[in-house]
Amino acid sequence: MTDATSAATGDKIRCDACPVMCYIKPGAAGACDRYANHDGQLVRVDPHVILEHTVSHGGRVVPFQATGDWDGKIVHAPSTFVTAIGAGTTYPDYKPAPFIVSSEVDGVDMVTVVTEGIFSYCGVKVKIDTDRYLGPETATVRAQGEAIGHVTTSEYGSQMLSLGGVHHLTGGSKKEGRVTCDTLMDLSNCKAVELAIDGGATVVVQAGQAPIVNGATEERMRVGCGSATIGMFAKQWHGKVDEVVVVDDHITGVLSEHQAGKLLDIADTGIKMKGRRSTPGRYFQVAEPGTGWGGTDIADPLSILGPFDRKVARPGLTMLMVSTTGEHAGYYVLDEALRPIETEMPADLEFSVARIQENCEPALCTVLFMAGAGGSLRAGVTDNPVRLTRSVKDALTRVTSGGAPVYVWPGGGITFMVDVTQMPAGAFGYVPTPALVAPIEFTLKLSDYAALGGHMDYVRPLASLKDSAEIRPMPLIPGRRA
Amino acid sequence: MSRLPQIALLPGGKRLHLQDGPIDLVVEADGSEDEMRAAYRAAAQRFVGLLDELCEELALLRQAADSRTCRLRGAVARRMHASVAPFAAKEFITPMAAVAGSVAEEILGAMQGAAELDRAYVNNGGDIALHLAPGEQFSVGVMDQPDRQGVMRTMLIHAEDAIAGIATSGRYGRSFSLGIADAVTVLAKTAAQADAAATIIANAVDLPGHPAVLRCPANEMQVESDLGPRLVTCEVGELSATDVARALAAGADCAQGALAAGWIEGAALCLKGKVATVGAARFDTAPSRDRHGRARDSLMQA
């Protein structure tokens, strides 16, 4: 480990990695561009500088310390796992990966090929847990006014965005490429980004955090639509209340009319719903989408009801109105004029509302970085790139990104996805191409590495890194695994 | 634990990489195997401790140079001063403007003293010291913006041109610029002179008061910047063709002056895809867009 330390002076720190002894402001780097002040801590930040300096040169490796905060899952403690962050690379990647490190683990010579891939074919898939309307499918998603992706098909309880990709990175204007690259990097580094959707909402997305839609923070995912909620809870309501309305932006459910109510012989109540009836007890469009009850724009749930049918309804009839997330709920009793009057909710109904809430998980944004390791990157690992692909597919080679597990797509090439919250802080960089720089590690047996045409001449034992000035512990960001 | 510079051959085994603190050198020597080894040994020997030498006088190196006297002692520090002194009479410049070139020159000098080489270069992040034995030549690639792939144009430098220094300065470099040039590449008799002149000419490519140019005090970004509170260029927005031409003309004027005074041999000034050249007909070599920029000779991206 390097002996670089820092003396804090106010918010600035004094780096003593070299005799220049730079004073470094928070968020800034020293004269070398290698050390920076990250929230008052001195950290190594090599990945960004390489191309800008235009000279291809050797890089450095940045291993995790197995002790301390790293959970050591990849290689068992007390070994050190080497990540690609800061390993450095050049573009195009025609030379061997900057460092190919071997480490002895359980008597097996393991090899970790460390490189930082430059990915111009890359993007992020964003899952936003919300039922609020973000925008129509295929609508353009913008950051700072530039098109950086689009809305794709919704998933259950979540809206999906597909951002980045080669067309936005390099196919549009220079500004579009730069903004796309910046946005992808920020999202991948778990920073908050504001996105505006054409014909839809503005949403603040941050991996691992609740989405903020048009300024309102989303709390919970709904357990299901209104109709599904009726189906799930009908039995629990049976005998405790005469009518239940589950208010939802998509489908609002009515217990007495719903199939689930009919099966329990729940009597008609004479309720009259606004909106368009789909099938019995299921209503579309009871209100406009919004940030009120159940993703609608309503603040008073009674506004979606017409007058009760005088021939069916009776005074004293009880009704529960609840949103699909359980965030809003009210209990009503019909008066002599058959008007619903809000009354204190009985304990067992409060319990059922709490149960709905409990079944609604916290709403989060999830960011998966997705990229393909091109032939040239693979050539940095082996003389015969396709053998690396085959080795990955045969599960002989384990692929990780910043030490985090990845999902490798079936089919050709090495196209992988990784949850950015599982990666160490600041794992992503960029080059002005524009393209993202992301760490990628291939771990395999030394013998397998030789067999697939590895650059054996460049393999260096892990021990050779330990006392070099090339090692730093990964900076910690709360909420991150590493 | 003591700090040790990084001294290693780059993959391929031909080039030497020397790095210590902010100094990052790629070195290549052509000659017989023995001469090459001797040269690299000398380079490594001279490199160890060089940064400490400079840092001993760092405070003085960061002050405005005095055009008449030099209080510095170290060989590299004095070379830095000598290279900026001609400019210091007229404008603010510190010896730091020539640090990269001066270091490159020092290492090349150590190699030249230890070995008979056909060709050699020491590339310090784009500031390059060159050695060419009679009859030898280098092909040098020039990039205008590092975010464009490939090399903008290449030029041939022959031994008889007596050019031993190439330096590039501008907004995309490591140091701040007072001007708006994307890149100014200068050819000069020494790397230190090229470095100082590139800084001055890049500063001169400017549009004072233009609203599209965003400037901030240098010491707000780097606390101990030798430029102190002087405004350095942070961002350059859209510029009209006339603005670009005007800024380039201002820089070319400055370069003409340096050429006439014998401080440089030529300069290429780049801004927003437009190029102005001064002196050296070599810059007029046809533009090259070869993606990998692999010319016949080893290629440097200056």
Residues B224-236 pLDDT 10s = 888 888 989 888 8
Q: With respect to residue A175, please indicate whether it lies within any of the assigned structural domains.
A: yes
Helix segments in A118-202, DSSP class H: 166, 174-188
pLDDT the model gives residue A432: 67
pLDDT of A75 higher than 70: no
Q: State the pLDDT at residue B289.
A: 37
- The answer to whether the CB of A35 falls within 8 A of the CB of A28 is no
Say whether both A201 and A272 belong to one domain. no
Q: What is the mean pLDDT of residues A282-305?
A: 85
Q: Are residues A190 and A250 in the same domain?
A: no
Please check the confidence at residue A82 and state whether its pLDDT lies above 80: no
Question: For B8, which residue in chain A has the nearest alpha carbon?
Answer: A58
In a domain, A363, yes or no: no
Largest CA distance in chain A: 92
Residues A58 and A152 in one domain: no
Q: Would A138 be classed as within a structural domain?
A: yes
Which of A290, A324, A355 finishes a domain? A355
ipTM reported for the complex, 2 dp: 0.81
Using the predicted structure, report yes or no on whether residue B83 has a pLDDT greater than 80: yes
Examine the domain organization and report whether A178 and A233 are in the same domain: no
User: Do A62 and A145 share a domain, yes or no?
Assistant: no
Q: Is A350 in the same domain as A335?
A: yes
Per-residue model confidence (pLDDT) at position B185? 85
Q: What residues have CB less than 8 Å from B253, skipping those under 6 apart?
A: B204
Give the pLDDT confidence score for residue A85 in this predicted structure.
46
pTM of the predicted protein model: 0.48
Helices (H), chain B: 33-47, 50-56, 58-61, 75-88, 99-114, 191-204, 218-221, 241-260
Inter-CA distances, A48 with A280, B29, B147, Å: 60, 28, 12
Q: How many residues does chain A have?
A: 482
Q: How far is CA A384 from CA A392, A400, A408, in A?
A: 13, 20, 20
Residue A138: domain span:
122-221
> B21 contacts in A (CB within 8 Å)?
17-20, 31-32
Is the separation of the CB atoms in B148 and B289 below 8 Å?
no
Q: What is the mean pLDDT of chain A?
A: 75
Which tens digits make up the pLDDT trace of A299-344? Answer: 899 999 999 999 999 999 999 999 988 889 999 999 999 999 999 9
Q: Going from the N-terminus, what domains does chain B have, and what CATH number goes with each?
A: 6-301 (3.10.520.10)
Residue A14 lies in a domain: no
Give the model confidence (pLDDT) of B10-22 as tens digits: 766 788 888 888 8
Which of B15, B147, B148, B219 to mutate to probe the A interface, most A CBs <10 Å? B147
Same-domain status, A197 and A247: no
pLDDT (mean) for A353-381: 81
State whether A392 and A452 are in the same domain: yes
For residue A21, tell me if it sits in a domain. Answer: no
CB contact at 8 A, A452 and A446: no
Instruction: Tell me what the mean pLDDT of segment A246-250 comes to.
Output: 88
C-alpha–C-alpha distance, residues A446 and A425, integer Å? 29
C-alpha distances (whole Å) from A416 to each of A123, B175, B263 are 11, 37, 54
Boundary-marking domain end, from A157, A191, A221: A221
Burial of B78 from C-beta contacts in 10 A (0-12 / 13-18 / 19+): middle
End of a domain among A355, A390, A411? A355
Domain shared by A128 and A243, yes or no? no
Q: Do A181 and A291 share a domain, yes or no?
A: no
Q: pLDDT band for B170, please (50, 70, 90 cuts).
A: confident
Name the burial class of residue B37, with classes exposed (0-12), middle (13-18) and buried (19+) by CB atoms within 10 angstroms of its CB.
middle
Contact A26/B at CB under 8 A? no
The answer on A263 and A162 residing in a single domain is: no
Of B10, B55, B174, nearest to A33 by CB-CB distance is B174
pLDDT (tens digit per residue) in A156-183 = 889 999 999 988 988 888 889 999 999 9
Binary contact (A25, B149; C-beta < 8 A): no
Nearest to A471 by CA among A200, A67, A40, A145: A67
- A19 CB neighbours in chain B (<8 A) are 3, 21, 51-52, 55
- Residue A74 shares a structural domain with residue A139: no
Into how many domains does chain A fold?
A: 3
